[in-house]
Amino acid sequence: MTFSKFIFLLMGLLCALTTFTSCGDDDVDTPVDPITLGSSVTVTNTFQSTSFTNGAEQAIEDLFQVPAGSLAAIANTGAAVEFSAYLLNLYDIDINENSISFEVVAAADDPTYMDLFRILEPDTFDRYYFTFDNMQAVNGFTSSNSSVNFRIDSDKVLVVEIGEGYDFKPGQNFTITLN
């Protein structure tokens, strides 16, 4: 091989290498929101307590003695509050691309909840299952309330778990910040 052919081959190799490496990672640094706006999401609720359910996780419909699935709600994520007055006027639940927020909107004299307002006991869990129609990119979270936890069951199912020490009362609110 002559020196000029060697240089020509080397130049071609460098050109190809430069072309392929400059195109390969264009989307790596593009941030992806944890929640895709416009996604359809269904919220359901369960409750678990040693005093109310003998320690078993039960659908909220069982506790309220209403038909199975009748308290589930469906919405599309967007700019408005997705679940206004969810669960018989208990919570406003808002989902955006980076967070899930809850606010207790039931009044102190609400006949459904007034006898239940209290600080939640040990081994008590009020869980909200958010099931999306498409995959979400949630990798982690922080909670504004130490009694509220978050679980990623799959890329389509996210769970907010309210537990021991939560001050369940009108006006109480918290936010799960997603990443």
Tell whether 163 is covered by a domain. Answer: yes
Tell whether 80 is covered by a domain. Answer: yes
46-86 residue pLDDT tens: 999 998 899 999 999 999 999 999 999 999 999 999 999 99
Tell whether 26 is covered by a domain. Answer: no
Which range of residues forms the domain containing residue 67?
40-178
Tell whether 30 is covered by a domain. Answer: no
Tell whether 171 is covered by a domain. Answer: yes
- Is the pLDDT higher at 122 or at 6? 122
Three-state secondary structure call for residue 20: helix
Tell whether 19 is covered by a domain. Answer: no
Q: How much is the pLDDT for 62?
A: 96
Q: Considering the entire predicted model, what is its pTM?
A: 0.84
Closest by CA to 148, choosing from 137, 135, 162, 159, is 162
Mean pLDDT of the chain: 89
Tell whether 35 is covered by a domain. Answer: no
2-29 residue pLDDT tens: 645 544 444 454 444 444 444 545 556 6
Q: How much is the pLDDT for 30?
A: 75
Q: How much is the pLDDT for 85?
A: 96
Interatomic CA distance for residues 2 and 29, integer angstroms? 43
Q: What is the mean pLDDT of residues 103-131?
A: 97
46-55 residue pLDDT tens: 999 998 899 9
CB 149 within 8 A of CB 161: yes
Q: How much is the pLDDT for 22?
A: 46
Q: How much is the pLDDT for 21?
A: 47
Q: What is the mean pLDDT of residues 102-130?
A: 97
- Count of domains forming the chain: 1
Tell whether 14 is covered by a domain. Answer: no
- Is the pLDDT higher at 39 or at 18? 39
